[in-house]
C-alpha cells in the first residue's frame, strides 16, 4: 500500500530526526504487521495510519527531547506491549542495544516476527514479570536506560524499573502532562530505590499533553526490591 508520509516526516523534522528511505519503509512494514496482527490480538486501540504515527511512533521517538539516543546505550523497554517505544527507537537509532520485556509471551512472538522482518540487529525479547526479571543477575542493574510507556502509578513503575538500571543510568517514564502530583507522591519510593527525580519535561504531540519523567539512579537498589509478584501494584511504596 501507498501511504502519505508527509505528516510523519514533518513530525520527524520537528524532532530533528533524519531517517533514510529504508528506515521509513521499516516503519511502514511495522505498521502493516501491527494492523494485521491486531485483527487477532489486542495490540492497539488505534489503527488509522496518521494516528498510529502520532500516538505511537512519534510519541515513542520524542524521547530524543530528553536524552541523546545517537549512541551505544543499552535500553530495557519494560512492558513493551506492541513494541512501544522500543522498536521505533531501534529503527530510528540503530546504535541502541534494546531488550523488549513483557509478561505476555504471545506479544513477544509477534515482536520477534517484526524484528526478523525488519532485519533489526542488537534487539531481542524477554518474557517475564518485572518482579522476577529484576532479580536475575543478567538484567539487574545492567542497563544504561530503562523506559516504559506502561499505564501504571509511578511509584509502582519505579519499583519495577529502577532495579534494572546501572548506577549513573536513568529510568524515563512516559506520562501525561498532568503528572506533577503523581511524581510528588512517588518521590519517597524513588528515593528508597536509589533514584532521584532529575527532570520533568513537558511537551505536546498533536492535541495531547505529554511528559517525560527522568529519574537518575544514584545508588544501588536494595536487594529486597522489587517485592514479590503482584505486591508493587497492590501496595505501592
Give pLDDT tens digits for 128-173: 999 999 999 999 999 999 999 987 999 999 999 999 999 999 999 9
User: What is the second-level CATH architecture of the domain 6-234?
Assistant: 3-Layer(aba) Sandwich (3.40)
| Partners of 10 in beta bridges | none
Domain extents for the chain? 6-234
Q: Cα–Cα–Cα angle for 51, 57, 62, nearest 5°?
A: 115
Within 8 A by CB and 6+ apart from 154, the residues are 173, 175, 179, 182, 183, 185, 186, 189, 190, 213
| Partners of 125 in beta bridges | 100
Specify the pTM: 0.96
Rounded-to-10 torsion of CA 9, 14, 18, 20: -10
pLDDT tens across 3-16, in order?
999 999 999 999 99
pLDDT tens across 66-115, in order?
999 999 999 999 999 999 999 999 999 999 999 999 999 999 999 999 99
Confidence class of residue 47 from pLDDT cuts 50, 70 and 90?
very high
Amino acid at each position: 500500500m501507498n501511504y502519505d508520509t508527509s505528516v510523519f516526516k514533518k513530525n520527524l523534522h520537528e524532532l530533528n530526526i533524519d531517517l533514510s528511505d529504508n528506515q521509513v519503509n521499516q516503519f511502514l512494514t511495522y505498521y502493516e504487521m501491527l494492523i494485521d496482527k491486531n485483527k487477532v490480538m489486542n495490540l492497539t486501540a488505534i489503527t488509522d495510519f496518521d494516528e498510529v504515527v502520532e500516538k505511537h511512533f512519534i510519541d515513542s521517538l520524542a524521547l530524543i527531547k530528553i536524552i541523546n539516543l545517537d549512541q551505544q546505550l543499552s535500553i530495557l523497554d519494560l512492558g513493551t506491549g506492541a513494541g512501544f517505544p522500543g522498536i521505533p527507537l531501534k529503527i530510528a537509532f540503530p546504535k541502541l542495544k534494546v531488550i523488549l520485556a513483557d509478561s505476555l509471551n504471545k506479544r513477544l512472538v509477534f515482536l520477534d516476527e517484526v524484528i526478523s522482518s525488519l532485519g533489526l540487529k542488537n534487539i531481542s525479547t524477554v518474557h517475564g514479570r518485572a518482579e522476577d526479571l529484576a532479580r536475575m543477575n543478567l538484567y539487574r542493574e545492567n542497563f544504561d536506560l530503562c523506559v516504559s510507556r506502561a499505564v501504571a502509578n509511578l511509584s509502582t513503575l519505579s519499583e519495577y524499573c529502577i532495579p534494572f538500571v546501572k548506577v549513573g543510568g536513568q529510568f524515563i517514564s512516559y506520562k501525561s502532562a498532568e503528572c506533577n502530583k503523581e511524581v510528588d507522591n512517588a518521590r519517597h519510593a524513588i528515593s528508597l530505590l536509589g533514584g532521584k527525580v532529575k527532570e520533568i519535561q513537558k511537551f505536546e504531540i498533536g492535541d495531547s499533553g505529554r511528559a517525560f519523567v527522568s529519574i537518575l539512579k544514584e545508588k544501588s537498589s536494595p536487594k529486597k526490591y522489587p517485592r514479590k509478584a503482584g505486591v508493587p501494584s497492590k501496595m505501592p511504596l
